[in-house]
């Protein structure tokens, strides 16, 4: 595998980094305090072509490869997890799922405006009683003529008050357990749909997260994604995509922790010398650097498999698990390096620490990925090709 960046990727990184430095860095501390961000940011992301970075040009995207998506997620999370999360959900969980599973009519109606950034997509799987245990979900979609009647609720939904379209999972036949789950494209303005933001979060405070509710929402049969009973398979494929973006974002957070720590090591002196000359501080900085390098390699390895159109559940799971753990440790060490100042929002590292916890939980907890990797190593689990793989990336 060749992990050298192309000139296009170098330009992309420079462009996103410049955007983050200009639009996010000066404002994120205040947005974090107030619990929301300027919604105009979403339009600016669209203007840069980032809302459809790896979606083919024929569907309104920028036509870049999946490692270009990783670069975008790295650089956005360097600014704040909020904005990487927005792109993760919009592209990784929703748009890439439409690309992989949608029919042509669905792609033209929903994927094209999302890839152009004219509409925002979100993802509805988790429920109050169903997280890692997807089969425990309670939402139902009952056939009624040419429609389905959708009832239930979803929780911890990113972009709950912002998104225009939601990819929602519900039982069409609960007797079949996971084979009775189906996937639907739901529009915000349909009667019976409502949302409510969650407050009091530990981290990602600037991000819009909350619940969505379905009270006899009438969903046309044309908005069934895939076939009835394919919802569980679609959800797992979606999580492969979402986990990839989360892992890439974690690389960006390690980068941010490393940058902030190196800067502080140059500014702060103790016992007559810069703190960067103390070996135990060097050890923490070295661990950040190692975590950054290892995580990035795991992410790009998974991205290359995606570029080839190959199943990557095992590789993406490992990248997500390790990168998020490294990011959590890097943020903890960054606070330690800053000492008492790390406990104050005068410096960004306290926000990095708060933000670093959620990715260890969502898109498959650390424990879920530990079990997955053990089962692969022990031979208990084996991936079979999905009947609809992501299209291989081809240079435009």
Q: What is the DSSP string of 65-123?
A: -HHHHHHHHHHHHHH-HHHHHHHIIIIIIIIHHHHHH--HHHIIIIIHHHHTTSS-EEE
d(CA 64, CA 393): 8
Angle in degrees, CA 26, 31, 34, rounded to 5: 145
Q: Which residues form the catalytic set? A: 363
Say if residues 58 and 118 touch (Cβ distance below 8 Å).
no
Going by pLDDT thresholds of 50, 70 and 90, the confidence category of residue 383 is confident
User: Is residue 192 within a helix (H) or strand (E), and if so which, with residue range?
Assistant: none
What does the domain layout of the chain look like in residue ranges? 7-120, 122-231, 234-378
d(CA 62, CA 54): 6
Q: How far from the centroid of its chain's Cα atoms is residue 382's Cα?
A: 25
Backbone angle region of 35, left / alpha / beta, with phi > 0 → left and psi within -120 to 50 → alpha: left
Q: What is the pLDDT of residue 390?
A: 67
d(CA 40, CA 38): 5
pLDDT beyond 70 at 385: no
Tell me which DSSP letter residue 204 carries.
-
- Is 3.40.1260.10 the CATH classification of the domain at 122-231? no
Who has greater pLDDT, 4 or 16?
A: 16
Say if residues 267 and 312 touch (Cβ distance below 8 Å).
no
Nearest to 123 by CA among 151, 86, 149: 86
Q: Across the chain, where does the E strand assignment appear?
A: 121-124, 140-144, 147-158, 165-171, 181-187, 193-197, 209-220, 224-225, 269-270, 273-274
Nearest to 325 by CA among 369, 282, 281: 369
Q: What is the pLDDT of residue 391?
A: 67
CATH annotation of 234-378: 1.20.140.10
pLDDT beyond 70 at 389: no
The chain-wide mean pLDDT, for the chain, equals 95
pLDDT beyond 50 at 271: yes
What percent of the chain is modeled with pLDDT above 90?
94
State the helix-helix crossing angle for 231-267 and 279-307, rounded to 10 degrees: 150
Q: How far from the centroid of its chain's Cα atoms is residue 104's Cα?
A: 25
Which whole number is the average pLDDT over 297-317?
95
Residues 253-267 have pLDDT tens digits of 999 999 999 999 999
Instruction: Return the CATH superfamily for domain 7-120.
Output: Acyl-CoA dehydrogenase/oxidase, N-terminal domain (1.10.540.10)
Residues 313-328 have pLDDT tens digits of 999 999 999 999 999 9
Which whole number is the average pLDDT over 306-315?
93
d(CA 340, CA 267): 15
d(CA 249, CA 73): 5
Structure tokens, 393 = 């990336």
């Amino acid at each position: 595998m060749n992990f050298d960046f192309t000139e296009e990727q170098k330009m992309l990184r420079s462009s996103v980094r410049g955007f983050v430095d200009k639009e996010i860095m000066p404002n994120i501390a205040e947005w974090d305090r107030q619990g929301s961000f300027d919604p105009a940011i979403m339009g600016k992301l669209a203007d840069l072509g980032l809302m459809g970075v790896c979606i083919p040009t024929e569907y309104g995207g920028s036509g870049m490869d999946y490692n270009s998506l990783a670069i975008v997620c790295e650089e956005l999370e360097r600014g704040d997890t909020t904005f990487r999360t927005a792109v993760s959900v919009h592209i990784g969980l929703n748009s890439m799922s439409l690309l992989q599973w949608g029919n042509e009519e669905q792609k033209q109606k929903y994927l094209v405006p999302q890839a152009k950034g004219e509409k925002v997509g979100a993802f509805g799987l988790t429920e109050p009683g169903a997280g890692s245990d997807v089969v425990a979900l309670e939402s139902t979609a009952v056939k009624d003529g040419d429609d389905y009647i959708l009832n239930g609720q979803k929780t911890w939904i990113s972009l709950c008050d912002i998104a225009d379209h939601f990819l929602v999972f519900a039982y069409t036949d609960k007797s079949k357990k996971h084979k009775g789950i189906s996937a639907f494209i739901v529009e915000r303005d349909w009667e019976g749909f409502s949302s409510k933001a969650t407050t009091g979060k530990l981290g990602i405070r600037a991000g819009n997260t909350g619940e969505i509710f379905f009270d006899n929402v009438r969903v046309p049969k044309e908005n069934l994604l895939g076939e009835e009973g394919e919802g569980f398979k679609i959800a797992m494929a979606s999580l492969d995509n979402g986990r990839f973006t989360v892992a890439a974002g974690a690389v960006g957070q390690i980068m941010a922790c490393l940058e902030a720590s190196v800067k502080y090591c140059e500014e702060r002196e103790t016992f007559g010398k810069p703190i960067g000359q103390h070996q135990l501080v060097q050890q923490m900085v070295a661990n950040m650097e190692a975590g950054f390098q290892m995580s990035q390699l795991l992410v790009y390895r998974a991205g290359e498999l995606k570029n080839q159109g190959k199943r990557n559940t095992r590789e993406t799971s490992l990248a997500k698990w390790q990168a998020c753990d490294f990011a959590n440790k890097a943020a903890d060490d960054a606070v330690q390096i800053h000492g008492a100042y790390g406990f104050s929002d005068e410096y960004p590292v306290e926000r990095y620490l708060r933000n670093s916890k959620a990715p260890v939980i969502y898109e498959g907890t650390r424990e879920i990925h530990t079990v997955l990797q053990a089962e692969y190593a022990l031979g208990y689990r084996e991936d079979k090709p999905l009947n609809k793989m992501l299209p291989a990336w081809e240079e435009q």
